[in-house]
Amino acid sequence: MIAEGVKTYQNYIGGQWRDGSGKDQLEIRDPANGELVYRSTSSTPEDARAAVQAAKEAYEHSDWAENSVARARGLYKLAEALRARVDDLARLLTREGGKPLSVSRAEVIRGADAIEYYAGLARNVYGRTVNLGPNEMAILMREPVGVVAIIVPWNMALSLLTRSLAPALAAGNAVVIKPASLTPGATAEFIQMIDDLAEVPKGIVNFVVGPGSSVGAELVRHPDVDMVAFTGDTSTGKDIMRMAADTLKKVSLELGGKSPNIVFADADFDRAIRGAITGASLFHAGQVCVAGSRVLVQESIHDEFMKRVNAMAEKMRVGPGLEKGVEVGPVINEGQLNRVMDYVEIGKREADLVVGGKRLTEGELGKGFFIAPTVFDRVPVQATIAQEEIFGPVLSVLTFKDEEEAAEIANATVYGLAAAVWTNDINKALRVAKQVRSGMVWINTFGKLYPNAEMGGFKQSGIGRQYGLEGLWEYTEMKHINIQLQDPKRASRNRVPPIGE
Does 155 bind ligand NAD (CB under 6 A)? Our answer is: yes
Catalytic residue among 96, 116, 189, 254: 254
The Cα 281–Cα 277 span in angstroms is 7
Which of 98, 184, 212, 393 touches ligand NAD (CB under 6 A)?
A: 212
Nearer Cβ to ligand NAD, position 26 or 78? Answer: 26
Phi, psi of 210 (to 5 degrees): 175, 175
Question: Which residue's CB atom is positioned nearest to ligand NAD?
Answer: 212
**In the complex, what is the shortest distance from the CB of residue 41 to ligand NAD, in angstroms, rounded to a whole number?**
15
Cross-strand bridge partners of residue 208: none
Q: Is the dihedral of CA 457, 458, 463, 468 positive or negative?
A: positive
Out of 111, 462, 468, 471, the only residue in the binding site for ligand NAD (CB under 6 A) is 462
Which residue of 40, 173, 231, 476 would you call a contact of ligand NAD, by CB under 6 A?
231
Nearer to ligand NAD, 200 or 208 (CB): 208
Distances (CA, A) of 467 to 106, 108, 353, 444: 17, 16, 38, 22
143 or 388, CB closer to ligand NAD? Answer: 388
For ligand NAD, the closer CB: 122 or 288: 288
**Least Cβ distance, residue 61 to ligand NAD (angstroms):** 28
Q: Indicate the residue type of 401.
A: K
Give the residue ranges of DSSP H helices in 22-100.
45-61, 68-83, 86-97
Q: Applying CB under 6 A, which part among 50-58, 106-114, 154-162, 196-204 lies near ligand NAD?
A: 154-162
CB of 198 to ligand NAD, least distance (A): 30
Pick the catalytic residue from 107, 116, 189, 289: 289
CA distances from 49 to 20, 185, 240, 496 (A): 12, 22, 17, 48
In angstroms, the CA 317 to CA 314 distance is 8
Taken in order 214, 340, 408, 456, the sign of the CA dihedral is: positive
Q: Pick the closer one to ligand NAD by CB: 155 or 173.
A: 155
Distance, in Å, from the CA atom of 100 to the CA atom of 104, rounded to the nearest integer, reads 7
User: In this chain, which of 370, 376, 391, 442 binds ligand NAD, going by CB under 6 A?
Assistant: 391
289 is catalytic: yes
Contact characters 179-198, ligand NAD, x per CB under 6 A: -xx-----------------
User: Which is it for strands 174-178 and 147-151: parallel, antiparallel or unpaired?
Assistant: parallel
For residue 216, the minimal CB distance to ligand NAD (Å) is 2
Cβ distance to ligand NAD smaller for residue 184 or 320: 184
Nearer to ligand NAD, 21 or 67 (CB): 21
Q: How far is residue 445's CA from residue 255's CA, in Å, rounded to a whole number?
A: 22
Q: How far is the CB of 417 from ligand NAD (least distance, A)?
A: 6
Should residue 216 be labelled a site residue for ligand NAD when binding is judged by CB under 6 A? yes
Choose one: 39-47, 74-82, 148-156, 347-355; the region binding ligand NAD (CB under 6 A): 148-156
CA distance 53 to 59: 10
What is the amino acid identity at position 16? Q
Distance CA 372, CA 362 (A): 12
Exposed/middle/buried for 495, CB within 10 Å: 0-12, 13-18, 19+? exposed
Does residue 93 belong to the site contacting ligand NAD (CB under 6 A)? no
Which positions from 236 through 295 interact with ligand NAD, judged by CB under 6 A? Answer: 236, 239-240, 254-257, 289
Beta strands 476-484 and 136-144, pairing class: antiparallel
Considering the rule CB under 6 A, would residue 388 count as an interface residue with ligand NAD?
Answer: no
**Does 343 participate in binding ligand NAD (rule CB under 6 A)?**
no
Distance of alpha carbon 179 from alpha carbon 231, whole angstroms = 10
Side-chain-facing half-sphere of 246: CA atoms under 13 Å: 13
Active-site annotation holds for 254: yes
- Residues with Cβ within 8 Å of 407's Cβ and at least 6 positions away in sequence, in order, are 432, 435, 436
List active site positions.
254, 289
By CB under 6 A, name the binding residues for ligand NAD: 151-156, 160, 178, 180-181, 212-213, 216-217, 220, 231-233, 236, 239-240, 254-257, 289, 389, 391, 417, 457, 462
